[in-house]
Structure 1
């Protein structure tokens, strides 16, 4: 596939890129319809619409910032130690997102810095030439850092063409994603080769990027090990756990569950309670990954016949959990509390083929983790946690209609509190052992941008 070098938008795969731009223009009305549809549950989806087209910024830009793009919640939390490190060096930050929840998380984490102007928070525009062009001309960042898996072709190619160093940091790439990139042939590989550099989490990830022909790849570890837990939430969780233990009650947190997984978990939980294996029945804290599904999951819990309460309706007094089967964690930003209150975490995204979710935060809270088989998005982190004894996999085949394997794995672990305590200590060791990615990333970026 040839590259064009004589257009306004410079060197990029010509035919593929033209088709990509045409597709974006055709789908643009659907993007706004989707936002309007989501606004049924949260009107905030309709806020800042011009920013999604590269316009409508409320304040003039007076300086060149470090630009950090964190698409959603997980990436924004992962970026926290990196953002704090740059703020400590006196740098101003341009923080961009694609999702409403990512923007909410950024505002929650950095409310003071946003109010003072040290951080400017906007949406990254849709990946259309004229929108991206206006965005870059408006902000003129001096360095761009995309978190984890983000690689928007228009942005990446344009940054290369104008000489803006754009790095993919805390980068990860699963085997499945690597195969998808290779399906696009030279065009797909050219996208990742256009980054100024890729700072990968693990050797697995680095190897996959190198297989795409990327030359400048370094292994720096995972920023999520450096993310501090909110101390207030941790203390609230510990107080909750103490109250539960006073009544000899254990708690399992089913964290970041995805569509279809709640049905499996609720069936297994009902079987567990009916087994009468515990003198005091354990409590389940069920936390769906996506807030727009809170009402749907509440309906599922109700139909299944459980006694439950929403976190949003709960004052936070632990004794209010007495007599409940389930707490529905319909809140944002409180995972450290849920983890610190729990004796075991069942990690969502791993029961069905979603690739798993981040288990690092749970381990940092000293909470053992139970995993399904689908953890390909966090391959190295999962292997390390299993190897050190901080996590275990569900033993046996996980069936949708009769999830006996999940029920038996839960019963086995909850019946052996001594084993849970050993796993808890291993989880803390695992969390501390892998810290330090922030320093390595800063050192790598300083080295490469001062050449």
Structure 2
């Protein structure tokens, strides 16, 4: 497939794309502006332009959604600290909202502006380049759009793919697309890969001489206020906490079943011990937990996407598990088994409040979610079998003793409960998680060094 055929196919499929976006916007909430002028490449001037900052020739960075926006945070902040103007683009409302939250100060002083990435039509991408005239463009992880890169070449805008990851499935897909993807990757001026494996696959797909600079996610700085609030909350409720974070489609139900089963198991064992005169309930933590709900661990169930908050609540209700929603405020009651994490931008709070974290998205063939953030908080981590989005990171973390892999949600919950009873194992895993995170820091500095000729 060449770029002409790609463009014709994209135009033909555009109504289906817009319908999908409209439906997703309805489920997820937020302002998606599917048919706004920005989506078609028109530059939008801010309503108020602070007079003390000259916003010209910005560094343009594209972070498609929530995860990429968080990943980009250290690099965006480094650019802002250099005094550079920044244009931050997104495709989803959650990504744009997170960017607005993370960089509120820079937005208020006029140093950073946000916009929608234009649809990958030739006219829209040309208008985008003409309207913003960026000094360079930085694409996070794997955002390759053929017409966008062609428009950048025509406008003389150097382009880099930074913190790039490229799985075996991405390579197969690029091969199937033929010359259009090879041309797009070949048009990049700089490719900075997360790992040597990513670099090899990118070069095989047509990218020019990738350089390994590491994963920007290792340079994240957890919000101190959230970390402190999470730890204070954990101390106040006086219960051990297991976070089940970033669940994706199809994962909530089996995790809820595992939580329910674990509770039944504790109750049955307590009953057996109570009927045995030789047993000493005072020396049995499981029996005490069943007898006193306040001693039972609290589970945090945190869906990845906001459109699934209500579905998760329905599943908890149907399972008969006492739960509260984070959005309701206040501390959970003694009988509460699950706190539903129906808030955005609070992952650092959830991890800081937890004794063990199960990082989901990896118990269905979806590639996994970011385990690095949990390790940064010094929390022992459990993942599932499907971590191909973080393949090298997961394998390295497991080898370092920072992460444990389990086959399914039931095994993950059982392993988390077992870790709560073993203080030495839990502390060793916590120290290993933090040490592994710190060992891999430095990607932002290496990336900034590589970009230096473009930054002035």
Q: TM-score, normalised by structure 1?
A: 0.90
Residue equivalent to 1:20: 6
Please show how residues 138-149 of structure 1 align to structure 2 within 5 Å.
138-149=131-142
Do the aligned partners of residues 62 and 413 (structure 1) sit closer, same or farther apart at CA in structure 2, a change above 3 Å counting?
closer
Give 1:254 deviation, angstroms. 0.8
The alpha-carbon deviation at position 62 of structure 1 amounts to: 5.8
Q: Which runs of 5+ in 1 are unaligned?
A: 1-14
* Cα displacement string for residues 189-247 of structure 1 (whole angstroms, at most 9, x for unaligned residues): 22211111110011111111122233321101111111110111000110122124x3x
In the TM superposition, what whole-angstrom CA distance separates every residue of 1:140-195 from its partner, at most 9, and x where no partner exists? 10110000111111111221233211000010011111111112233322221111
Q: 38, 45, 68: which one pairs with 1:51?
A: 38
Classify the secondary structure of the residue corresponding to 1:134: helix
Taking the TM superposition and a 5 Å limit, the aligned residue runs for 1:242-391 are 242-244=235-237, 246=238, 249-276=239-266, 278=286, 279=289, 280-315=295-330, 318=331, 320-391=332-403
1:82 pairs, out of 62, 75, 81, with 75
1:154 paired with 2:147, answer: yes
Q: Is the 8 A contact 2:136 2:454 kept in 1?
A: no
Moved more, 209-218 or 135-144: 209-218
CA contact 1:363–1:390 (8 Å) conserved in 2: yes
Partner of 1:171: 164
Report how many aligned residue pairs link the two structures. 424
Question: What stretches of structure 2 of length at least 5 have no aligned partner?
Answer: 270-285, 290-294
RMSD: 1.9
Residue aligned with 1:49, SS: coil
Contact in 2 for aligned 1:39/1:46 (Cα 8 Å): no
Matches within 5 A, 1:78-157: 78-157=71-150
**How far apart are residue 57 of structure 1 and its match?**
1.0
* Match among 432, 443, 452 for residue 426 of structure 1: 432
Of stretches 53-62 and 127-136 in structure 1, the one that deviates more from structure 2 is: 53-62
Q: What secondary structure does 2:228 align onto?
A: helix
Q: Distance in 2 between matches of 1:437 and 1:286?
A: 31
For 1:194, the equivalent position in structure 2 comes to 187
Contact 1:95 1:122 in 2 (8 A): yes
Q: Do the aligned partners of 1:196 and 1:216 also contact (CA within 8 Å) in 2?
A: no
Q: How does 1:370-449 map to 2 (within 5 A)?
A: 370-394=382-406, 397-398=407-408, 404-447=410-453
Give 1:48 deviation, angstroms.
7.5
Q: Distance in 2 between matches of 1:219 and 1:139?
A: 30
**Separation of aligned partners in 2, 1:209 and 1:36:** 33
Aligned equivalents of 2:178 and 2:10: distance in 1?
20
Aligned-partner Cα distance in 1 for 2:418–2:184? 47
TM-score by length of 2: 0.89
Give 1:83 shift. Answer: 1.1
Deviations, residues 92-151 of structure 1 (Å, cap 9, x unaligned)? 001100110000000001112112110010000111111111111000101100001111
8 Å CA contact 1:250, 1:414 repeated in 2 = yes
